[in-house]
Structure 1
Amino acid sequence: MPLLLASPAFGLSQGGIALFSLAGAAGAVATPLAGRIADQGHSRATTALAMGLVALAFPLTHIAQPGSGWSLGLLVVAAIVLDFGVAANLTLGQRAIFTLGADVRARLNGLYMATFFLGGALGSAFGAWAYAYGGWAWASGFGAALPMAALVYWTTENRIH
């Protein structure tokens, strides 16, 4: 999104983009909510909801004419929805790890966090490449495709009762 926000359509400065990024604070709300819902035994459904929110965030950015006030507003909504879904999914994954025995918990959490950040770095790199070659349409399509692929994989997992 920073590339789109800095583009001629929006023309935001670095300060404007930094203010826009405050929408990411929504993740702080998602964490306790996801934890409480998971504690009630709904981790599986909440995981699907979190990934669905992330996938939904990207199409939201295409509803209004780029550069318009509506478009900027929808970008804010999309950023909130995206961050909410990512933070909820991260919380659910860590909760699953911390229900395991203490002998494996630290190693698995370290591996989980390293994988999470590696995925974020690779996603950013490929997203920038997609934006350079196909603009926001390619970048947002790539961004939506990843959680959709995760949802497809999620449907193949065995359910634990």
Structure 2
Amino acid sequence: MKQTLSNPILYLMSISAGLVVANLYYNQPLLHQIATTFGVSDSAVSNVALSTQIGYALGLLFIIPLGDKVSNTKILQIDFILMIASLIAAALSDSLMLLIISSFFIGFTSSLPQLFVPMAAALSDEKGRGRAVGIVMSGLLIGILGSRVLSGWVGDQFGWRTMYYAAVVIMVALFILLKFKLPTITPSYKGTYGSLMKSLWHYFKTEPTLRIATLRAALAFAGLSAFWTTLVFLMEDNFGYGSGITGAFGLFGVVGALAATVVGKMNNRVSSNKILIYSALLLIISWVIFYFSAHSIIGLIAGVILVDLGMQALHITNQNIIFSKNPEARNRVNTIYMVGFFIGGAVGTVLGAEAWKNYGWTGVGALGLILSVLILVVHLVFQKRERKII
């Protein structure tokens, strides 16, 4: 098999990645409304976001490796049925615990976008791989950020449950489109599912560049998750704004997401080492701005643009590095990377909620700054091991 990656298929994967991953983030601007509905604290309701991210990480771990063994169409069919059922359950939840459980399965089944990223890399030649990965990741990042805008507005206008019902409609329509348009990829791996999963440890153990890239990504996403989980509480307490305004901040982050294609192309011309250093510096600068912007909307906007730009540049470069090796196992390599990425996000959600609870926005800002500095330290300490790649 050697299919070519046409632009229509590439952009279909990009849009699909954005629409599916949006399911993970609809809840964040709605947390205050959900807390009010069930009469619970801000700290307790943050478990909705946490369970979604944990579910996503486990979905990556147990579903995405199948991309190296089972055709993508079979995975999509089963996964979409479970995803739609989980979204319906969330909309109908009559207790916080039921919503937390439903959110876990929403996260678990919404790992599908990570099938599209290795697929784009596999169907591209060496010269076009950075561009292809960048375009798919651009769609994914826009989905993450746009989901907050959409859910914030829907929550303000119609209530938080309506957003979940709308997600059901979107997923049904997307499934029909993918069923007829997405090419079938038949992987070559012939081993058992057990041996497939065992091989994850082999790649993690033998690929230092993969381990370092995963650690960088986990630290970066921990900071980003801490920010988005607590922003809704800051906006309510310090500015008196609801979920609509909070979600609208995602529009400013789209600036960073749109840089994905540019960053992907840069990976073919500029040293990955330089891009990673600049990315870490952007994240540090953004968190310095956040730290001093507890009462400044302009500061928060500037920070959102820079933090998403830094995050995107770091993420695309990491993936371009890890996809450059082991072409027969791109789904498994991506699984390891993305599991670490979202475990970082889950930890960041917990730490962010605790920092807000105990120290307010100052604590959140300090947390994000520490995590960003650690990214730079980790990269500078371990970059010698990556020189053969980057």
TM-score w.r.t. length of structure 1: 0.89
Q: What runs of 5+ residues in structure 1 fail to find an aligned partner?
A: none
Query: Quick check: 1:102 aligned with 2:305?
Result: no
Query: Quick check: 1:160 aligned with 2:390?
Result: no
Conserved? CA contact 1:27–1:87, under 8 Å: yes
CA distance in 2 between partners of 1:35 and 1:61 (Å): 27
Q: Share of identical aligned residues, percent?
A: 27
The equivalent of 1:2 in structure 2 is 232
Structure 1 SS opposite 2:254: helix
Query: Quick check: 1:24 aligned with 2:24?
Result: no
Moved more, 32-41 or 136-145: 32-41
Query: Quick check: 1:139 aligned with 2:139?
Result: no
CA distance in 2 between partners of 1:42 and 1:101 (Å): 21
Q: What runs of 5+ residues in structure 2 fail to find an aligned partner?
A: 1-230
Conserved? CA contact 1:54–1:85, under 8 Å: yes
1:4-153 to structure 2, matched below 5 A, reads 4-7=234-237, 9-63=238-292, 66-67=294-295, 71-153=296-378
Deviation at 1:144, TM superposition (A): 1.0
CA displacement 1:43-65 (0-9 Å, x = unmatched):
1111111111112111113446x
CA distance in 1 between partners of 2:279 and 2:332 (Å): 25
Conserved? CA contact 2:232–2:242, under 8 Å: no
CA distance in 1 between partners of 2:271 and 2:277 (Å): 10
RMSD over aligned Cα atoms: 1.6
Moved more, 11-20 or 26-35: 26-35
Deviation at 1:131, TM superposition (A): 1.0
Larger radius of gyration: 2
CA distance in 2 between partners of 1:144 and 1:85 (Å): 13
Deviation at 1:99, TM superposition (A): 0.9
CA distance in 1 between partners of 2:291 and 2:363 (Å): 12
Deviation at 1:30, TM superposition (A): 2.5
CA distance in 2 between partners of 1:27 and 1:112 (Å): 21
CA displacement 1:109-133 (0-9 Å, x = unmatched):
1111121111112112101110110
Structure 2 SS opposite 1:155: helix
Structure 1 SS opposite 2:387: coil
CA distance in 2 between partners of 1:10 and 1:30 (Å): 30
Conserved? CA contact 1:31–1:91, under 8 Å: yes
Deviation at 1:26, TM superposition (A): 2.2
Deviation at 1:33, TM superposition (A): 2.1
CA distance in 2 between partners of 1:148 and 1:130 (Å): 18
Conserved? CA contact 2:291–2:366, under 8 Å: no
Moved more, 98-107 or 10-19: 98-107
Structure 2 SS opposite 1:39: coil
